[in-house]
Amino acid sequence: MNAVNAGSRDPVATFGMARKQSRKSILLRFIEALKESRRREARRVIATYAHLLANRDNRKEDNQH
């Protein structure tokens, strides 16, 4: 049977984890995921209250004239 048809029996090859690549530690992956989730939450909050930020910016321009 052809190896391509049978699939790889090597779990490293199966899951795409080449040993050549440096693997990130679980702590580093956790910290990166935490940062990304905080960024997404900040963007959601800014989008939710964008109308307040726009009003604040408009008042500054009105006061300058």
Q: For the chain, give every domain's residue range.
A: 23-65
Query: Cβ(8)–Cβ(14) under 8 Å?
Result: yes
User: What is the residue type of 15?
Assistant: F
pLDDT of 7? 59
pTM: predicted TM-score of the whole model, two decimal places: 0.48
pLDDT in tens, 10-50: 666 666 665 556 788 999 999 999 999 999 999 999 999 99
**CA pair distance 9, 5, nearest whole angstrom:** 12
Query: Cβ(7)–Cβ(1) under 8 Å?
Result: no
CA atoms within 13 A on the CB side of 23: 7
Place of tokens 């990304």: 36
